[in-house]
Amino acid sequence: QFLALATLTGLSAACGSSGRPATPAPPAFRTELRIPPLLEPRTARDGTRHFALKIQRGRTELLPGKPTETWGFNGPHLGPTIRAARGDRVRMSVTNRLAEASTVHWHGMRLPARMDGGPHQMIEPGGTWTPHWTIDQPAATSWYHPHPHGETAGHVYRGLAGMFIIDDGDTPELPGEYGVDDVPLILQDRDQAGDADVLGGTFGILGDRMLVNGTYAPFMTVRAERVRFRVLNGSNARRYNLVFGDGRRFHVVGNDAGLLAAPVEVEQVSLSPGERAEVVVTFSAGEQVLLRTVSGGDDIDEGDFDLLKLVAAERLTPSPALPSRLAAPEAIVVPANARVRRFRLNGHDAINGKEMDMSRIDEVVPAGATEIWEVENTVYAHNFHIHEVAFQVLDVDGQKPPPYATGHKDTVYVPPKSTVRLAVRFGGFTDPVTPYMYHCHLLRHEDSGMMGQFVIVEPGTEDRVSRTIAH
């Protein structure tokens, strides 16, 4: 399913076009980065784009000499990239070929709760689920992964994850040729010993081997002056502090849920599980540089690791200059009388002292509301993800977030013993009986119950909503 797993032959071929001998890569970085293929939709007569996903089992040698059972969408590991544009009507058909039930959640997507793919939309073995909706949100890098309650960590760790790119006609001149100068990077860590316990310890998996798009120690040949990387932290628990080996500066152009108003120059970007960043990196012909993650002094970002070697070709295709303004979604304005809801994370298996209960509605939100959600973490590292919404980080312990993290987001790091305030804008799909989730995206915590449920209802009907749902 994935594009050629290159060997040394592939490397020579890749570098051979300059007519000069290929530079030998160090042994650790000689496998060509896999690029998840784009999933080709079938377009129905009414214009609906049909995407078909099959959840299946396979075997993959993720680490050299250690073939293991893996799960994937339409292949043995990970899934194809789905790409759709604002205004598209899409219909997914998700078939489950596993021996156990799962779900597929469209992380970052604004859609009716019944289409969300959370723990209430289980797909039984052999079953097919066919959610459909109209894409109506700004350009962004989203993703999809299973969400069966109590089982998400295992399902994602075995390989069930894929990118979902949303295009918007407004998108300015950013690099956009998929796999060439617009490249997905799914960051995940594996436990080399192979005996990782996804629900063990405080954080579950914190692996010692890094994969990018399922490729261990990969290289990528860069052919354009500027490359946009869509980086997804698809790990169970690890936080990445991304830098380049030569300390070069680069630009962040987008957060989880949309572009920034203008590119922000940085030398480091941090991503906790589930977060995305779109970055643009400038290269000189013939150079090589490593993308790395460095220790951040927290339990979940311990260790320095090389992730990906970027090898620039001897001739690079000229790229347009980085635009100075980007088509960012409008800032989220918090009304003076905005409702404030408080969420307390202590331990790893509850929010506000309550463990996730599929039959309990924790919060009832009126459609279209803008609220402040205040997330207080009294212990070690967590993060916080809210389905359906876009939010902006107001402050972390009273401090503004760094400029590169001021855009629209759906997942945020909540550092140990700190409080994060979010300006949250809710959508308009009402359904008093089908909840959306909010939770810590450290999957071991999510699975243990650090998750709650909210419904969106017609304004004025909040009091009539039953707090218990049958299923």
> Binding of ligand C2O at residue 238 (CB under 6 A)?
no
Among 75, 274, 296, 427, binds ligand C2O (CB under 6 A): 274
Q: What are phi and psi of 452, to 5 degrees?
A: -135, 175
The item of Cu ion, ligand C2O, none sharing an interface with residue 274, based on CB under 5 to 8 Å by kind, is ligand C2O
> Binding of Cu ion at residue 442 (CB under 5 A)?
yes
Structure tokens at 280: 């643009």
Q: In what order do the strands lie in the sheet with 218-224?
A: 31-32, 218-224, 305-317, 288-293, 240-244, 269-271
The item of ligand C2O, Cu ion, none sharing an interface with residue 440, based on CB under 5 to 8 Å by kind, is Cu ion
Structure tokens at 126: 């052999």
Q: What are phi and psi of 106, to 5 degrees?
A: -95, 90
Q: What is the nearest approach in angstroms of Cu ion to the Cβ of residue 140?
A: 24
Rounded distance, CA 51 to CA 84, Å?
10
The item of Cu ion, ligand C2O, none sharing an interface with residue 385, based on CB under 5 to 8 Å by kind, is ligand C2O
How many residues bind ligand C2O (CB under 6 A)? The answer is 10
Rounded distance, CA 4 to CA 25, Å?
18
Q: In what order do the strands lie in the sheet with 451-457?
A: 363-366, 451-457, 436-439, 382-386, 411-414
Nearer to Cu ion (CB atom), residue 230 or residue 382: 382
Among 34, 49, 77, 107, binds ligand C2O (CB under 6 A): 107
Q: What is the nearest approach in angstroms of Cu ion to the Cβ of residue 276?
A: 18
Rounded distance, CA 339 to CA 364, Å?
12
* DSSP 8-state assignment for residue 404: G
Collapse the DSSP code of 19 into the 3-class scheme (helix H, G, I; strand E, B; otherwise coil) and give the result.
coil
Rounded distance, CA 105 to CA 195, Å?
27
Rounded distance, CA 347 to CA 202, Å?
9
Q: What is the nearest approach in angstroms of ligand C2O to the Cβ of residue 107?
A: 4
| Choices 68-76, 85-93, 239-247, 375-383; region in contact with Cu ion by CB under 5 A | 375-383
Q: Are 393 and 421 in contact (CB under 8 A)?
A: yes
Per DSSP, the residues of 68-91 read: EEEEEESSSSB-PBEEEETT-EEE
> Binding of Cu ion at residue 350 (CB under 5 A)?
no
Among 34, 49, 120, 147, binds ligand C2O (CB under 6 A): 147
Q: What is the nearest approach in angstroms of ligand C2O to the Cβ of residue 236?
A: 11
Among 105, 149, 209, 425, binds ligand C2O (CB under 6 A): 105
> Binding of ligand C2O at residue 145 (CB under 6 A)?
yes
> Binding of Cu ion at residue 440 (CB under 5 A)?
yes
How many residues bind Cu ion (CB under 5 A)? The answer is 4
> Binding of ligand C2O at residue 382 (CB under 6 A)?
no
**Beta strands per DSSP E along 235-332:** 240-244, 250-255, 258-266, 269-271, 276-282, 288-293, 305-317
Distance of CA 331 to the CA centre of its chain: 22
> Binding of Cu ion at residue 322 (CB under 5 A)?
no
Considering only residues 439 through 468, tell me which ones interact with ligand C2O, judged by CB under 6 A. 439, 441
Q: What is the nearest approach in angstroms of ligand C2O to the Cβ of residue 158?
A: 16
Q: What is the nearest approach in angstroms of ligand C2O to the Cβ of residue 427?
A: 16
The item of Cu ion, ligand C2O, none sharing an interface with residue 382, based on CB under 5 to 8 Å by kind, is Cu ion
Among 107, 230, 382, 421, binds Cu ion (CB under 5 A): 382
| Choices 204-212, 241-249, 330-338, 435-443; region in contact with ligand C2O by CB under 6 A | 435-443
Name the residues that contact ligand C2O, by CB under 6 A: 105, 107, 145, 147, 274, 385, 387, 437, 439, 441
